[in-house]
Amino acid sequence: MAKSLVIVESPTKAKTIQKFLGSDFVIKSSFGHVRDLPKKELGVDVENDFKPKYVIPTKAKKVIAELKKESAKADNTILATDEDREGESIAWHLQEALKLKNPQRIVFHEITKSAIEKALKTPRHIDMNLAEAQQARRILDRIVGYKISPFLWKKIAKGLSAGRVQSVAVRLIVEREREIEKFIAQEYWGIEALLKKENQEFTAFLIKKDDKALDKLEIKNTEEANKILEDLNNSEYIVNSVEKKETRKNPSPPFTTSTLQQAAWQKFKFSAKATMSLAQRLYEEGNITYHRTDSLNLSEDSLGAAKNFISQQYGQNYWAGQPVRYKTKSSGAQEAHEAIRPAYPDKTPESLKNIDPRQLKLYTLIWQRFIASQMAPAVFDSVSADIKAQNYTFRANGQTLKFDGYLKVYSTKFEETTLPDLEEKDNLKLTKLNSIQHFTEPSARYTEASLVKTLEKYGIGRPSTYAPIISTIQARNYVSENEQKRFVPSEMGIIVNDVLVENFPEVVDVDFTAKMEQELDGVAEGKDTWVKACKDFYTPFAKNLAEKYKEVEKKDLVKETDKICPKCGAPLIERLGRFGRFYACSKFPECKHTESVEGDKNNLNIICPKCHASRDLSKGDKTGKLIARKTKKGKIFYGCNSYPKCDFALWDKPIDELCPKCDSILIEKNKKTVKCSNKECDYSKER
């Protein structure tokens, strides 16, 4: 009997869908993309309407062969890839690679039985507008990468690369760093009074002088602050006015991709990449709706389910009283999508069994945020009192929680401050009067959360691109995270950024990049063609690139030193590479000796145990030192700086201490524990 073949992107998604469909369906996975531009060439014919050259990657050939056999046996083929541009593109590439004539296309934003059955009843054709918008993005990214990277090799150093969107992110980080470097702190002072009514003390802050509001920086130095303290000497503190009111704090909307990444970083320090990976599994296993979205839309079914759950679990007064619908601010948001929510609102985090702990943390966050979004506001009793002392006015604010509302499910920070029962003309006792020195602070360096927020604010990239953008700029070593998990540009990142800003402003211009996103949106909506989008960018870009090859001089990144090469006796020079500064023999390529620069942040200054054990002092052998390195995919490891002569390496960060049991080097397992790097040794200790 003929069956329907359903093709999805991942085995996990296939396994989940199989639970809902009967024996009339065969579910297979494409394991992601099945066609792409070739790796070792541009793969785009810029002279002939940007015709792309697609190839089937080696790893996908076996999958394609199997899918061809299955589709030949099937009565019909259904493409059920994700409902975004990338998913539409994968569906189109499957159609082309498998030579399918009339495949059905179904989409759903949650992997539930009802959603899949509904999708099967309303199949459609592949939306070529969406597929072509994704194709235009891929081609533009390839053009920038393949055209500018060789320019950087020639003008700066080999191994560098540029990206249409990633380079804008680097620019944001570099410009923030320069703001911080140029920042000059301003001194300012605040005045606070510790007052008492009966036996209850509270604090009030100076806000006015002569009934005129004081600016934050109004009191500039200690002399001005002391003058105010002198003026207030022996003053009476009389309550001038009291305002009591009930205030409401509304819940936040359910998550979009951007806000989920921000919240997951803030609460758990999950990277954007980790958050998306965990969310992918939650989606594929049928626990949440589609996780790549910029929409705040919610289905009627989910609103009804939330109402029932809240009313039954917490009481009718905890429900908002009517379904709460949120309006998406972004003009380019895809309202056909939903916000990220639990697929089943009544599936509490406690009910999930045998789930990865990190997945459970993220699911709990998503579930709480969605349920809270449909709950009643939190209600506070607020009091504000203005207190006169001569010609100065102080203000005291109080707040107490009256009804927790949505805070019962999704707690956010708030502070309760209790004031005594103040009334007009109350004469208060002064316990203490303080002047407090402050200094203005520069804008903080970007974290993953704040960078994602900024990218979204300026319309740079789309929900599916935030995590790859951040991963890429770190893998290229253009930026790194400091101990506070904030982004700091590398020396090479700054140099590359400056060259791009000066010579290719359109590539790294925030407004221009956002405008390109709008043009791609136009292609997706059928208002523009993908060829025009590519041509609008490439024509002026190619002309400028040709001119810059002639105009721009090569950057001199070499510094002379007084060091001598231990191998050949030639002078050592200091070079700047992708991984920072290093010493190299001036006779390269005849002599390939290199060593790390003392004081370089990647140099751990720890003696390599393998070199030390095997060195022959009679031959002048030197011991190497351990340095932090990165794999091609950006993963950090720790190896000897004498590589390839010494291949010692560790994944965990070593410390300058040997194991007392076996003399192997000790490594950090976490902030509190170190253990032996020798897998056969069980030594560990608390730090």
Of residues 663 and 398, more confidence is placed in 398
pLDDT over 80 at 332, yes or no? no
Q: Omega into 644 within 30° of 0, i.e. cis?
A: yes
Q: What is the pLDDT of residue 603?
A: 65
CATH (residue range 257-373): 1.10.290.10
Does residue 637 carry a pLDDT above 90? no
Residue 229's pLDDT band (cuts 50, 70, 90): very high
State the residue for tokens 């070079």: 575
Q: Tell me the pLDDT band of 365, cut-offs 50, 70 and 90.
A: very high
Instruction: Of 452-466, 487-501, 633-647, give the lowest mean pLDDT range.
Output: 633-647
CB 673 within 8 A of CB 687: yes
Out of 188, 283, 290, 478, the active site residue is: 290
Whether 609 has a pLDDT exceeding 90, the answer reads: no
In this structure, which topology does domain 4-126 adopt according to CATH? Rossmann fold (3.40.50)
State the virtual CA torsion across 252, 256, 261, 267 in degrees, nearest 10.
Answer: 20
Q: What confidence tier does 34 reach under pLDDT thresholds 50, 70, 90?
A: very high
Closest listed residue to residue 526, CA positions, set 131, 105, 51 = 131
Q: How does the average pLDDT of the chain come out, rounded?
A: 90
Using CA atoms, how far apart are residues 312 and 318, in angstroms rounded to an integer? Answer: 10
Look up 290 and say whether it is catalytic: yes
22, two tokens: 């009967």
The neighbour count for residue 616, using CB atoms within 10 Å, is 7
pLDDT at 611: 79
Supply the pTM of this predicted model.
Answer: 0.82
Helices (H), 525-647: 530-551, 609-614
- Quick one: pLDDT at residue 477? 86
How far apart are alpha carbons 396 and 386 in whole angstroms? 7
3-class state of residue 8 by DSSP: strand
Does the pLDDT at position 415 exceed 60? yes
Domain ranges across the chain? 4-126, 144-183+452-551, 195-250+381-439, 257-373
pLDDT at 128 over 90: yes
Question: pLDDT, tens digit, for every residue of 245-300?
Answer: 999 999 999 999 999 999 999 999 999 999 999 999 999 999 999 998 989 999 99
Q: Give the residue-averaged pLDDT of 551-556.
A: 91
Instruction: Say which CATH class 144-183+452-551 falls into.
Output: mainly alpha
The identity of residue 226, as a single letter, is N
pLDDT over 80 (residue 436): yes
**Rg, Å, the chain Cα set:** 31
CATH number listed for the domain at residues 195-250+381-439:
2.70.20.10
Closest residue by Cα to residue 96 from 62, 139, 67, 133: 67
